[in-house]
Amino acid sequence: MSEKGEVYSVAGPVVTAIGISPSMSDVVLVGDMELMGEVIKIEGDKSIIQVYEETSGIKPGEPVVDTGEGMMLELGPGLLSSIYDGIQRPLSVLMEAEGAFLQRGMTADGLDRETVWPITIKVAPGDKVSGGDIIAETKEKNLMHKIMVPPGISGTVAQVFPGEKKVEDIIVKLDNGTELKPMHRWPVRVPRPVKKRLMPNVPLTTGQRILDTLFPLAKGGTAAIPGGFGTGKTVIQQQLAKWSDADIVVYVGCGERGNEMTEVLTEFPALKDPKTGESLMNRTVLIANTSNMPVAAREASVYTGVTIAEYYRDMGYDVSLMADSTSRWAEAMKEISSRLEEMPGEEGYPAYLASRLSQFYERGGRSENLNGTAGSISIIGAVSPAGGDFSEPVTQNTLRIVKVFWALDTKLRERRHFPAINWLTSYSLYGNTLDTWYQENVDPEWKAHREWAMSLLQKESEYMEIAQLVGTDAMPQEQQLTLEMARMIREIFLQQNAFHDVDTFSPMKRQFKLLAAIKIYSDAATKALAKNVPLKSIYSLPIRTELTRAKFENNIDEILDDVIGRINIEMDKLSSDETGGIA
């Protein structure tokens, strides 16, 4: 039941109201324009509200209405391919009604009320159902949308109503009078329940060699991508959205620049889904909140995104959630906290920054759902530290929570090495957990090859410091060879062209085969060096050029098989040709 009060004071997006007795997190309508807001603090008879829209023009005495419920999302068929703002207002619908610039107080239903969905009922009268149970199905884009009993509801099926239905039509009626529809509502700040958590022991395969091989992410895992301007965060997230083996992608543009968000909104529909050949938007939900939009809605946008992700996880799907960027989200919290005159923490961020970040990332995970299906939410949060400074609070607090750290490096960007992920500062804590899967599904030598590559790259870093002092020519030949083999790993394996038809995606077995070819070449070169074969001859072996070019060829797998079979033969021939003259 709604309750009326009035505005007492206004401080930016923070409005104080009197005359209402709301609960924490209740949604209220503020002013004559009925701007949506949320109760974030209660002091005696005063209610502190963060308003999700611009508050200019609001004055004391204007009405405030408490709706009596928290911020709710509409969950049901029609979410896929939608573009929402931070509080689930469909931007395409509002644009048709108002044009490019949205008026304050405008609102629209999160799900289209007129679309008709062919409903297949999966239960019969007499069946007992409870929260999470699948009662019906309908085709949504290329995916089977499973309509579930909302958590907390149970009963016996009394009647079913199959056929073509709108989202507000009744499809199942329970014996206790409860009417179930294709759509239900859920509070964004309340995690949807699961039966139990599962071990994250299955990788989220991405087709990106440096990620899958060196720093893998598990399905249901959490990852951070910190990096300065221009280091390629958006391109990496687009690659993950396009190529990862997730069923659903939820992309949250949280406080990003308008031109970057425009690029995402125009490029995602144009991207082809490699699984179906159709638009990638058919399995994507976009949430757009640009930097010029009200900060309060920015703070809500990540919760909107993760709630939609939880809904599809409950159907048994693997969901990949991209948050770009959590730094802007933290800045919104900082601004609201200062308006509330709260005691600031490090660099002015609120003292609860770490707990809010934890609450967000902990809603990811791989789980057994209430209906017995298994699903996952993999959360990948981009962080935009000012000046690329990873010691700032948002990056540091994120690193304490996530288990995968993909550190983007400005120096690699300057050298045109992409993805610009620094292999010395990045890490993954899922490596040992996923080794069994890799050994069973890719190759038994996967772990050994990964450890060899990382060891060589670390040695390269140590030797480069020596090389800068004395020059590479003055170094022992074994160290010179190590530097050259590490360069092969960097240039042939780690570098990957996101815009090349062949190199943009590398299947797991191909990744292993490419790394194995480099290791075989390295082992053969080490043996040749021990036989006094000159380094110049080892470097200039024609088969090395073939290996370098292979990743861009359509028949790459055949070329790699051929190269692997010839490396030792050609290196042995080189040894027999060279050693006589040198020994």
The domain spanning residue 259 has which CATH number? 3.40.50.300
| 75 is a domain residue | no
Residues 320 and 384 occupy one common structural domain = yes
Residues 272 and 363 occupy one common structural domain = yes
| 516 is a domain residue | yes
Cα–Cα distance for residue pair 461/577, rounded to 1 Å: 33
Among 415, 407, 494, which residue's Cα sits nearest to residue 228?
407
Residues 178 and 210 occupy one common structural domain = no
Chain-centre distance of CA 106, in angstroms?
Answer: 30
| 350 is a domain residue | yes
| 143 is a domain residue | yes
Among 511, 501, 54, 522, which residue's Cα sits nearest to residue 295?
54
CATH code of the domain containing 137: 2.40.50.100
State both tokens at 383: 């962080």
Residues 203 and 330 occupy one common structural domain = yes
Secondary structure (DSSP) of 299-366: HHHHHHHHHHHHHHHHTT-EEEEEEETHHHHHHHHHHHHHHTTPPB-GGG-BTTHHHHHHHHHTT-EE
Residue that terminates a domain, selected from 38, 70, 102: 70
| 155 is a domain residue | yes
Residues 351 and 480 occupy one common structural domain = no
Residues 221 and 162 occupy one common structural domain = no
| 94 is a domain residue | no
User: What is residue 489's three-state secondary structure?
Assistant: helix
pLDDT < 50: residue spans in the chain: 581-583
The torsion region of residue 28 among left (phi > 0), alpha (psi -120 to 50) and beta comes to: beta
Cα–Cα distance for residue pair 71/20, rounded to 1 Å: 17
CATH code of the domain containing 18: 2.40.30.20
Cα–Cα distance for residue pair 536/208, rounded to 1 Å: 32
pLDDT value of residue 101: 66
Cα–Cα distance for residue pair 229/34, rounded to 1 Å: 38
Whole-structure pTM value: 0.92
| 103 is a domain residue | no
Handedness of CA 289, 290, 294, 300 (dihedral sign): positive
Among 143, 139, 179, which residue's Cα sits nearest to residue 159?
179
Q: Which residue has the tokens 């290329």?
A: 142
pLDDT value of residue 48: 94
Domain count, the chain: 4
Residues 244 and 353 occupy one common structural domain = yes
Residues 252 and 388 occupy one common structural domain = yes
State both tokens at 187: 């509070």
Residue ranges making up the domain that contains 367? 196-228+238-410
Residues 263 and 402 occupy one common structural domain = yes
pLDDT value of residue 582: 44
| 85 is a domain residue | no
Residues 323 and 390 occupy one common structural domain = yes
Residues 205 and 330 occupy one common structural domain = yes
Residues 393 and 462 occupy one common structural domain = no
**For residues 457 and 423, is the Cβ–Cβ distance under 8 A?**
yes
